[in-house]
Structure formats: structure tokens, C-alpha cells
Amino acid sequence: MDVQPDVGAAESHQHMPRAWGVMGLYAGEGFADQITEGAHLIGARPAQVKRNPRLNILAAAALLDQEIRRDGGARQAQAATPESIRPALMRYAGFSPSPAEAARASAVGDYARTSFAYDVLLAQDRGVNDRGIVVPERAIEWERAFDADQLVTLRAPMVRLDAARDRIDLGPYAVDPVTETLTRGHGDDAPAMASGAGPAPDVGTQSTDYGPALWVPSPYYRSRSSYSSVTIHTAQGSYAGTINWFKSNPYSVSAHYVIRSSDGQVTQMVRNSNGAHHVGVHNGTTLGIEHEGYVNNSSWYTTAMYNSSAALVRSFCSKYSAISCANAYNGNAHSGVVVLSTSIDVKGHQHYSSQTHTDPGINWDWRRYYTLLNPGSGGTTKYLDRFESSVGHFNTSPTYSGSTTGISTASSATRNCSTRKNGSCSLRVLLKDNASSSAAWSVRLLSGSGSPSSNTALTRANGTIGFWVYAGGSGMKVGVGIDDSDGTERSTTKTLTANTWTYVSWSLTNSAHWNAWVGGNGAITGGTVKLDAIWIERAQTAYDVNVYIDDVQIRN
């Protein structure tokens, strides 16, 4: 594996510093010169660290080890936990060219470094199961890594708390039982959190233009005349690095929004009422969205990112009469600059006149994106997950939700290509009993990690939500949870016949199929809704049980 920036391109996207090799190390150009420093640490030449995957990984390891040792010496480095190296991860990020500048960095820079550390720990917390790469989950004790305000801002998953009520009080904080993230609540005492994590960044935690977004301002913007289009970008960099770059760079570049690959988190950096500096002569008439990742690597374009981005654009279409989601580009992806008609309202950076940039490029799925922008446009059956290339929305284990009971953390949800109903693969859910508990099995298998913004919008009218399921044991029941306009509703459960494929479904318009769960009223009332989870239930047993799920879909 040898991942390199396109050094032959006329310019890097938004002049972002190029990231080299498997580990994406910077070589200066506005960020730290990790290549030269890492090469020195391992006794190699900078050119070797850029081009040789093994040396690139070793250089990154040496850089991180150096930062960990600064906090506690060699002995402490050997005993370091993921939670304890959060300060080292922030420095390792490489967004500031020197420690002195890092010390003087603004609140936005601090937020970017904090976000980088969070991304690294989140990857360990959730694990990885994508395109044949499997990294087991390693539960992160978030309260030991960040202080409470940072956890609220980062919307970190406090998932190992049992959400038995609508809100769980933790002094002035609470856990939202639907998203299972920490929120600011009510009370007298703050929960104990990591000491030395520092104050929360001096940035707002919510955008006034788009509710799901964080607000982290960039100084680079201009007045605008009106909006008539939306521009889709690929950042050619990380989420945290892009945010840091847009707060302080020599080119005065910016975008309105930045979206994270792993979970679709959105950060707004320029108000909708202003023009961002992202597409040259068209800045005054288009809203710009940067997507974390690289043009030549399709794995960055996750289901969570597509869903989150489409939800943001749908909000533009509802606010601005000149922007119509029905007029989004709906054709083949392009590798170069291809100028499209001004009548197309949602298109890529590469589709405007007077451009040299070629993002989002050949790997952006415009037809899939169009369907997400226009729910119901894809036909009578809309597949949410088919598991042909990845686990899709179901990227966390069965025990990841704090609402799950009865099963052990050895349970897993993985893509399986030997037992399936249709196509080549399905989702295998292996359930193992928690020997220290006598509780019945009740598994909230999260879709989109339980975050509504990471899930696909579903049109309620005449809709049924369903999937194929195969239970390798008796006594199994399944249901679904739906994030509605007033909370979350849970469906009635359906009993499964063992060792056979069964199609199960629930009508979104039939109240007899639904029960109130968190904040809900026992009926689906929103015009568009999201799938929260598939629920799997069984009486407690000591035996392992396999459940296979295929073709999760909505039919209208």
C-alpha cells in the first residue's frame, strides 16, 4: 500500500498541505514538517519516509512515541493507555509548525487538535470492519481522556451507561438515551472528568444556520449576492486538519461546512449569509461543503458521510428557493474538470468554469447522492444496507449501545459472505451470553452508531421498513427503532422461525406496529424519519446464537 499525494497536480486542493504515505504525514507547507523529523528519528532519508510504506509507518510511530515520552518518560510510555495519550495525540496531529506556535494557537486550533485526538480514539472505540479490514473494538473511557465540556462539544459516545429513562442526570450533564452522547443537563455537581484536559475550545457548540452542526468560525469570508448552487468538495485532508487550515492559512481559503468521514459530524465555519473562499469567481453565489478524505481513495466516502452531507444539502433546498435538490447532478463521476450547466444546482468543484480542481473526483457516487437528496426518487424499493462491500450503517458491535442487555462484549457484527439471502454477503450478528448476568437478551444493534444525522432519510408516506433475517437458533424475536419527529418509536417484535430466511417488515403509517420508546408517542408522525436500530431479543441462554441480516430496505 503506497498512498501519495498527486504531486503532478497544478495545486493541492484549497492549498492544503500535502499528506504523505500510509500515515498521512505532513512535510511543512504550512503544517509541521513531520516527514523530516520522523526520518531523523528512525535514521532514514525524508524521501524514503514519503515513498516507503514501512518507513512511513515507523516514522509516524516514532513521532507519537516521542510525544508520549514528553509527558512521562520511557516507563510511562510503556504503560500508556489510549485515554492517557490524548495530549500526545493533540501535539502529534502536526497542525502547527512548532511547539511555540502550538502554545499560542487560537481556540479554533485547539478544537482542531482535540478533534484529531478524538478521531483516533473513536476509531479504537468503534473498531473497524470495512473492505476486509477488521480491527476489534477497544472500549474507550471517554471521561478519562476529555473534560465534560469537551465531550459535549465533540458529541462523544457515552454508550456504556444504561439509559433507562428519557435523560440520565450526571450533575449539570446528562446522557441522551437516543444518541447516547453527553449533553448539558441540570444539577449541582459536575461529573468527574479527566484532569488537565484543559478548557473547552472558545467556540460555539451549535450552529444557528444548521442545528446538527458545530460552529467553529473561519476568518476568511466575503459578502455575497445570492445563492444559486451548492459545491461539493473533497478536502484532500483530514476533518481536523481542514478545520485548522481554514482558521489560519496564507491563502485565505475556507468553506461553509466540513464533514467527517467516520460518523458524518458537521462543523460550520462560515455563516450561510456570507460567501466562503472555495470556488473562485463563483464564491458569491454558492455554498461550499468540504468532505474529509482524498479524491483517489474511495474508502473515505462512507455511508455516514453521504447521509450527513445529503441532509445538509436538503436543508439548503428547503431554505433557498433558487436551489433545488431535484436539479442536482445525477450522472457519472468525472476524473477531470468537466463544466456543467448553470441549471444544475448541486455539483462538484470540478464542474464549475474557471477551475483547475478535480474534486470530488471519480469516486464520488453522484447517483447515490441524488437519491439521498430526493428520497423516493430511486423507485419503489430503497435499500439502506445490502452488505455487499461493507457493514454499511451497522459499524458498531451489538454491545456498543448502553441499551443492550444480557450479552457479552465478545458478541460481534461482521460482514459474512457464506450465508446470505440475496447478492453475495450479509451481516452476521454473533450473540454470546454475558455469564455474569441473568438478564434476558435485548440487543439494540445501532444503525449509524445511533446518530440520526448518520442515517438515511426515509419517506413515511405509504412506507414499510423491513429486512431479511435468518436465526440460527430458536426463541429469537426482532424489531426496529425509528427516530421520529418527536422522539424514538419502537416497533412490535416478530418471532422468527429457526434456520430459515424470513422477511420481516413494519408499516410506518400503521400505529398498531409501534410503541413509544424515548420521547415518542407510539406512532410515526414525521414526514421523513430515520432508522435508529434493529432490535434482537431472546430469553437468556448460555449458547451462542448467530443471526444473519440482509437487504435492509424501505418500500413505498
Cis amide leading into 46 (omega within 30): no
Mean pLDDT for the stretch of residues 223-236: 91
Strands 501-507 and 464-471: antiparallel
Half-sphere exposure (Cβ direction) of 237: Cα atoms closer than 13 Å: 27
80 close to 17: Cβ distance less than 8 angstroms? no
Question: Which residues have CB under 8 Å from 232's CB, separation 6+?
Answer: 289, 291, 309, 346, 347, 348, 349, 359, 360, 364, 369
What pLDDT is attached to residue 134?
Answer: 73
Tell me the C-alpha distance between 59 and 26, whole Å: 12
Can you name the residues that pair with 488 across neighbouring β-strands? Answer: 483, 519
Given a cut of 50, whether residue 9 has pLDDT beyond it is no
143 close to 151: Cβ distance less than 8 angstroms? yes
Burial class (CB in 10 A: 0-12, 13-18, 19+), 260: buried
More reliable by pLDDT, 159 or 25? 25
pTM for the whole thing?
0.80
Strands 214-215 and 346-348: unpaired
- Same-domain check for residues 363 and 472: no
- Same-domain check for residues 538 and 477: yes
Can you name the residues that pair with 427 across neighbouring β-strands? Answer: 415, 549
How confident is the prediction for the chain on average, in pLDDT? 86
Find where cell 483516533 sits.
120
Q: What is the CATH number of the domain that holds 545?
A: 2.60.120.260
> Percent of the chain, pLDDT > 90?
60
Q: 263: closest CA among 221, 305, 312?
A: 305
Q: What is the pLDDT of residues 287-313, one digit of tens each?
A: 999 999 999 888 899 888 998 999 999
90 close to 116: Cβ distance less than 8 angstroms? yes
* 344 in any annotated domain: yes
- Same-domain check for residues 358 and 257: yes
* 355 in any annotated domain: yes
pLDDT tier, 376 (very low <50, low <70, confident <90, very high otherwise): low
* 88 in any annotated domain: no
260 close to 211: Cβ distance less than 8 angstroms? no
Can you name the residues that pair with 405 across neighbouring β-strands? Answer: 442
* 109 in any annotated domain: no
247 close to 14: Cβ distance less than 8 angstroms? no
- Same-domain check for residues 344 and 392: no
What pLDDT is attached to residue 336?
Answer: 93
Give the per-residue SS3 of 265-277. Answer: CEEECCCCCCEEC
User: What range defines the domain where residue 436 resides?
Assistant: 381-555
What pLDDT is attached to residue 49?
Answer: 97
Given a cut of 60, whether residue 30 has pLDDT beyond it is yes
**18-27, 456-465, 501-510: range with lowest mean pLDDT:** 456-465
Find where cell 523529523 sits.
37
* 551 in any annotated domain: yes
Given a cut of 80, whether residue 489 has pLDDT beyond it is yes
Q: What is the pLDDT of residues 101-130, one digit of tens each?
A: 454 456 778 889 999 999 999 988 888 766
Angle at 475 (CA atoms; ends 474, 478), nearest 5 degrees: 110
Q: What is the pLDDT of residues 264-289, one digit of tens each?
A: 889 999 999 999 999 999 999 999 99
- Same-domain check for residues 456 and 321: no
Q: Which set of grid coordinates corresponds to residue 172?
A: 449539570
Question: Which residues have CB under 8 Å from 249's CB, separation 6+?
Answer: 15, 30, 220
Find where cell 495519550 sits.
85
Tell me the C-alpha distance between 202 and 264, whole Å: 23
Given a cut of 80, whether residue 170 has pLDDT beyond it is no
519 close to 488: Cβ distance less than 8 angstroms? yes
- Same-domain check for residues 386 and 343: no
Strands 266-268 and 257-259: antiparallel
Angle at 549 (CA atoms; ends 548, 551), nearest 5 degrees: 145
Burial class (CB in 10 A: 0-12, 13-18, 19+), 106: middle
- Same-domain check for residues 405 and 548: yes
**E strands present in 3-117:** 19-20, 25-26
Structural domain count of the chain: 3
The DSSP symbol for 293 reads: B
What pLDDT is attached to residue 37?
Answer: 97
Given a cut of 90, whether residue 447 has pLDDT beyond it is yes
* 193 in any annotated domain: no
Q: 384: closest CA among 428, 328, 448?
A: 448
**323-327, 526-530, 542-546: range with lowest mean pLDDT:** 526-530
What pLDDT is attached to residue 188?
Answer: 41
Q: What is the pLDDT of residues 232-261, one digit of tens each?
A: 999 999 999 999 999 888 889 999 999 999
Tell me the C-alpha distance between 258 and 268, whole Å: 6
Burial class (CB in 10 A: 0-12, 13-18, 19+), 86: buried
Instruction: Give the residue from 373, 396, 417 where a domain finishes.
Output: 373
- Same-domain check for residues 250 and 394: no
Ordered DSSP codes for 392-417: TT--S-TTSSTT-BSB-TT-EEEEES
pLDDT tier, 192 (very low <50, low <70, confident <90, very high otherwise): very low
More reliable by pLDDT, 515 or 6? 515
What pLDDT is attached to residue 303?
Answer: 82
221 close to 274: Cβ distance less than 8 angstroms? yes
* 223 in any annotated domain: yes
Q: What is the pLDDT of residues 338-370, one digit of tens each?
A: 999 999 999 999 999 999 999 999 999 999 899
What pLDDT is attached to residue 190?
Answer: 43
Tell me the C-alpha distance between 406 and 550, whole Å: 24
Highest mean pLDDT range out of 304-313, 521-530, 545-554?
Answer: 545-554
- Same-domain check for residues 526 and 392: yes
Given a cut of 50, whether residue 24 has pLDDT beyond it is yes
Identify the three-state secondary structure at position 223.
coil
- Same-domain check for residues 341 and 408: no
Mean pLDDT for the stretch of residues 466-492: 94
What pLDDT is attached to residue 135?
Answer: 78
Q: What is the pLDDT of residues 55-109, one digit of tens each?
A: 999 999 999 999 999 887 666 666 788 999 999 999 999 986 545 445 445 677 8
Find where cell 439494540 sits.
444
Q: 529: closest CA among 445, 469, 464, 443?
A: 464
Instruction: Give the residue from 345, 373, 401 where a domain finishes.
Output: 373
Given a cut of 50, whether residue 515 has pLDDT beyond it is yes
* 188 in any annotated domain: no
337 close to 292: Cβ distance less than 8 angstroms? no
More reliable by pLDDT, 503 or 159? 503
pLDDT tier, 513 (very low <50, low <70, confident <90, very high otherwise): very high
- Same-domain check for residues 408 and 551: yes
Tell me the C-alpha distance between 165 and 160, whole Å: 14
More reliable by pLDDT, 6 or 182? 182
214 close to 268: Cβ distance less than 8 angstroms? yes
Instruction: Give the residue from 45, 80, 115 where a domain finishes.
Output: 80
More reliable by pLDDT, 377 or 442? 442
Q: 455: closest CA among 531, 401, 402, 517?
A: 531
Q: What is the CATH number of the domain that holds 344?
A: 3.40.80.10
The pair phi, psi for residue 170, each rounded to 5°, is -130, 70
**2-6, 9-13, 235-239: range with lowest mean pLDDT:** 9-13
Identify the three-state secondary structure at position 158.
coil
- Same-domain check for residues 392 and 317: no
